[in-house]
Amino acid sequence: MASPSRPALPPHLRLLSPRQLPPLRSPRRRGAGSRVLSSLPSPSPSPPSQQRVSTASLEHGPGPGPALSAEVARLSAARARLRAARSLGDKLRALDAEPRVAAFFGDASSRGVLGGLRPREAYLLKCLVAAGQDHVLGAELGWAGGGHERHRNGSGGGSALREALYSLADLVGRWSEEGAAKDEAGSGETELLLGRLLKFLGDIEEFYDCVGGIIGYQIMALELLSVSKSKDSKHRHSKDKFVDFHVPTGLNLLEDTEYASQAAMWGIEGLPELGEIYPIGGAGDRLGLMDSDTGESLPAALLPYCGRSLLEGLMRDLQAREFLHFKIFGKQCITPVAVMTSSVKNNHEHIVAICERLEWFGRGRENFRLFEQPLVPVVNAEDGKWLISESLLPVGKPGGHGAIWKLACDRGVFEWLYCHGRKGATVRQVSNVVAATDLTLMALAGIGLRHNKKLGFASCERRPGATEGVNVLIEKQNLDGLWEYGITCIEYTEFEKYGISEPTATNGSLQASYPANTNILYVDLQAAQEVGSRKNASCLPGIVLNLKKAVSYVDHLGFECSAAGGRLECTMQNIADNFMNTYSYRCSEGIESELDTFIVYNERKKVTSSAKRKLKPEDRSLHQTPEGSLLDIMRNAHDLLSSCSIEVPKVKDNNEYLHSGLPFLIFLHPALGPFWDIIKQKFIGGSISKGSELQIEVAEFLWEDVELDGSLIILADNIMGPTKRNTHGEQILHYGARCGRCKLQNVKIVNEGISWDSPSNVYWQHHVERSESLKIILHGNAEFEAKDVLLKGNHMFEVPDGHRMCILQNEAGFVVKLDPIKKEMMDSGTWYWEYTVDGAHVKLNMVDP
């Protein structure tokens, strides 16, 4: 499979369709004599300078100097003693024997200063000091001043340690065993200062228990810091004889459309076995999102995008799939949603607030499980000391979305999903606004469920220079002579470490063909739980110390600071490193179909386009901005509607829109499909002129030979069905019945539409000024129909619940006819789309009684 040199590949991805691959089947081990392993020569171990290694099984190179190495050795010994201790008392005694702890707290560390704390609280503070972070309690915070006249052990002195100890004593002296202050005057300060530090430390100790808690966290940080400082950090030695990367093959949704449709049908059919997992605890600092009233920084999930928050967009996509499942199989399916939040920017509180405000999206509180990711300390890139934000509070950031697997185990999320009858889950990030476009997500899930895979990636071509990782097929031979294969991810921050260079026009780099990692995943729940429940570092996949970006924070004096630093981050997609398949022989090409990991491909604008950073005036690229992702949504709309024989203006390159408006705005509710083959049966012929706006918020819809020149907005209360209160008083969405409906046939719409010159327009928010528009509002199960008519100028048609409005042409222009819907048609409507499965496709038939 490997060769000393590979021929240059074309700039596009070389992807094999399933016709070129063996049939997907469960992996099996074969006898050594069952077939020729490979026509390629057996490899010899690569020289260390040329060898490329995986994200798993690394041995660190030599450290840069004795200081960090000595500190790692000291902490490792302390961790070993703590692990050997059987009780909390034994652990406290082991910590008291540490020179740093003894020097800080003195012989009476279990009395006096710490006497007012519970043993667990004293343990956390001693771990902090033992980890070399006593400066968190230090005099540089400005607590210890001339007022301190006490001296420990009868001697005077002004050392930072003593002054820090006196400051700590003041706090503990006001701290009761119940965690409340003994005197009212200092109660607020005590609870604020000491309480939040103890919570911060407790979270670290609990989450990183798999590596030794607070001390284990510091060991890992120092080890990775040591590697980053090493001159040999670019060339790491592997535990394996041979390691190589290859471009992974898999289902190309564009090439094998029939198989793609079948896989997507498996996904929709298997929806009752699927959960949904959202890691949305990130800070989203690059968006610069703030509350306009309070000035409070807000998390990325609250970004107002296309008329709603990003979180609401995720739920619309999910409900569209559930609606499709109902239309095909006639069964209500409510997917349980697990959401990993964090405390940064009050992320958790904001997520809870938006869910409560929108009444849990008509799904019921019981179908959500929110679990909060702990913040982790940021270490200084020079010496590994924790950066300090406020008094007694280190700078804390989320520890990467890879925390999700262990945290889900710790919080019982997997068991909760099992109770809902789930076997697998789809995973996506809140900032990727196109992840659910067309077939991609359901084809990914369908293959995962159908073929009992452990992990799947949705991928596409990678843009050179983009801040995104790559998916690779890793091939390695271990020291026992066994061969291991798997599809995994390498983050862009690790390219240099693994010898992956950014492709250019001149270097002809093979990496041009490595596809992009998009963090759209299918995961088998039992496989993920097995990894997350491990009691070692493997439950924290792809752990790195990212030092490439300066850390901005506000220090304890209120000054804005920036320092070189980083925190331990793990990546959820690198759980794949735990799902390698092992063979006694070297395998030939096409091994991907037998692996526990797999990959599917689609064109980039259908897979990933993110709103991650705010566009700056000096920017020359729209990549990863809300503006850029909106253009990809418009490109998808163009491609979809053009395939319906509708004339739509073409969307040009992003550079054309850096400082100008868009060719049009088109927003289609995903419940119209969400598969494009379904939407194509609801849109037939017509045209959309340049500068037009089309927004359709209704699922039961027909567009036939409609000419739009201006703005058309269709809004329905019951897009997919009505809501009814359950026994708990919650509003629950019931799919299918009493939907709003709209039919437009041979209609010409002309109005002034959007005021494209208005300076207040924010297109990616869908916040625009209009001179004129045609707006149709459907209440309850209201219906609207227009046929053979010209609708010119500014109009709004509002149809009450239980009524049908028809617009007919007459000599004066048009006439409006409003009739009540017959009682026997209140649920089904006067017409509806009937969905039937025809092989791998969904066929629509309009039923018009």
Q: Which is it for strands 375-377 and 368-373: parallel, antiparallel or unpaired?
A: unpaired
How does the average pLDDT of the chain come out, rounded? Answer: 84
Beta-bridged to residue 388, according to DSSP, are: 394
| Contact of 736 with 325, CB cutoff 8 Å | no
The gap from C-alpha 43 to its chain's centroid, in whole angstroms, comes to 38
pLDDT greater than 80 at residue 86: yes
Beta-bridged to residue 847, according to DSSP, are: 832
Mean pLDDT for 295-303 is: 88
DSSP state of 821: P
Mean pLDDT for 165-192 is: 53
The mean-pLDDT minimum among 120-124, 361-365, 595-599, 809-813 falls in: 809-813
Rounded to the nearest 5 degrees, what angle is found at the Cα of 416, between the Cα atoms of 412 and 418? 120
Distances (CA, A) of 560 to 135, 150, 383, 388, 551: 19, 34, 21, 12, 11
- Cis, peptide link before residue 674, omega less than 30° from 0: yes
Distances (CA, A) of 599 to 444, 489, 519, 521, 775: 8, 11, 12, 9, 43
Per-residue pLDDT tens for 239-284? 778 888 999 999 999 999 999 999 999 999 999 999 999 999 877 7
The mean-pLDDT minimum among 157-161, 169-173, 427-431, 826-830 falls in: 157-161
pTM of the model: 0.86
Mean pLDDT for 596-613 is: 95
Give DSSP secondary structure letters for 52-101: ---SSSEE----S-HHHHHHHHHHHHHHHHHHH--SHHHHHHHHHTSHHH
pLDDT score recorded for residue 49: 30
419 vs 552, residue with greater confidence: 419
Question: Which residue from 776, 480, 741, 428 is spatially nearest to 608, judged by alpha carbons?
Answer: 428
Map residue 106 onto helix, strand or coil: coil
Question: Token pair 């629950």 is at which residue?
Answer: 732
DSSP state of 584: S
147 vs 397, residue with greater confidence: 397
pLDDT score recorded for residue 609: 94
pLDDT score recorded for residue 229: 77
Rounded Cα distance between 319 and 43, Å, is 51
The mean-pLDDT minimum among 41-50, 198-207, 432-441, 764-773 falls in: 41-50
Mean pLDDT for 209-224 is: 96
What six digits make up the tokens of 6? 């590979």
For the chain, list the domains and their CATH numbers.
Answer: 66-226 (no CATH), 239-497+517-606 (3.90.550.10), 626-847 (no CATH)
pLDDT score recorded for residue 192: 74
pLDDT score recorded for residue 484: 95
User: Which of the given ranges, 103-107, 161-165, 818-822, has the highest pLDDT on average?
Assistant: 818-822
Mean pLDDT for 294-322 is: 93
Percent of the chain whose pLDDT exceeds 90: 66
Question: Token pair 């850096």 is at which residue?
Answer: 658
pLDDT score recorded for residue 36: 28
Rounded Cα distance between 841 and 843, Å, is 6
Q: Which pLDDT band holds residue 67 (cuts at 50, 70, 90)? A: confident
Mean pLDDT for 200-210 is: 96
Mean pLDDT for 775-798 is: 97
What six digits make up the tokens of 53? 């290694």
pLDDT score recorded for residue 147: 33
pLDDT greater than 80 at residue 573: yes
Please list, in sequence order, all residues whose beta carbon lies within 8 angstroms of the beta carbon of residue 593, skipping any fewer than 6 positions away. Answer: 21, 22, 23, 24, 25
pLDDT greater than 90 at residue 658: no
Beta-bridged to residue 754, according to DSSP, are: 770
pLDDT greater than 80 at residue 756: yes
pLDDT greater than 50 at residue 505: no
pLDDT greater than 90 at residue 743: yes
Q: Which pLDDT band holds residue 182 (cuts at 50, 70, 90)? A: very low
SS3 content of the chain, % helix, strand, coil (to 5): 30, 25, 40
Map residue 762 onto helix, strand or coil: strand
| Contact of 651 with 663, CB cutoff 8 Å | yes
pLDDT score recorded for residue 174: 54
The type of residue at 477 is Q
Distances (CA, A) of 427 to 349, 521, 717: 22, 5, 29
Question: Which residue from 544, 286, 576, 542 is spatially nearest to 459, judged by alpha carbons?
Answer: 576
| Contact of 221 with 384, CB cutoff 8 Å | yes
- Using a 10 angstrom Cβ sphere, with 0-12 exposed, 13-18 middle and 19 or more buried, the burial of residue 450 is middle
Per-residue pLDDT tens for 463-491? 877 788 999 999 999 999 999 999 999 98
User: What SS3 string covers 261-324?
Assistant: HHHHHHHHHCHHHEEEEEECCCCCHHHCCECCCCCCECCHHHCEECCEEHHHHHHHHHHHHHHH
Rounded Cα distance between 147 and 166, Å, is 10
The mean-pLDDT minimum among 141-150, 676-685, 796-805 falls in: 141-150
DSSP state of 442: H
pLDDT greater than 80 at residue 43: no
pLDDT score recorded for residue 297: 84
Q: Which pLDDT band holds residue 492 (cuts at 50, 70, 90)? A: confident
Rounded Cα distance between 383 and 225, Å, is 8
pLDDT greater than 80 at residue 65: no
200 vs 159, residue with greater confidence: 200
The mean-pLDDT minimum among 200-204, 239-243, 271-275, 681-685 falls in: 239-243
pLDDT score recorded for residue 165: 57
Rounded Cα distance between 427 and 432, Å, is 11
pLDDT score recorded for residue 256: 92
Q: Which pLDDT band holds residue 59 (cuts at 50, 70, 90)? A: very low
pLDDT greater than 50 at residue 582: yes
147 vs 801, residue with greater confidence: 801
Mean pLDDT for 685-708 is: 98
The HSE-up count of residue 380 (CA atoms within 13 Å, CB side) is 14
The gap from C-alpha 582 to its chain's centroid, in whole angstroms, comes to 30
Backbone angles phi, psi at 208, to 5 degrees: -95, 25
Rounded Cα distance between 218 and 225, Å, is 10
Q: Which pLDDT band holds residue 153 (cuts at 50, 70, 90)? A: very low
pLDDT score recorded for residue 148: 32
The gap from C-alpha 15 to its chain's centroid, in whole angstroms, comes to 26
State the angle between helix axes of 257-269 and 440-450 in degrees (0 to 180), rounded to the nearest 10.
70
Map residue 557 onto helix, strand or coil: coil
pLDDT greater than 90 at residue 511: no
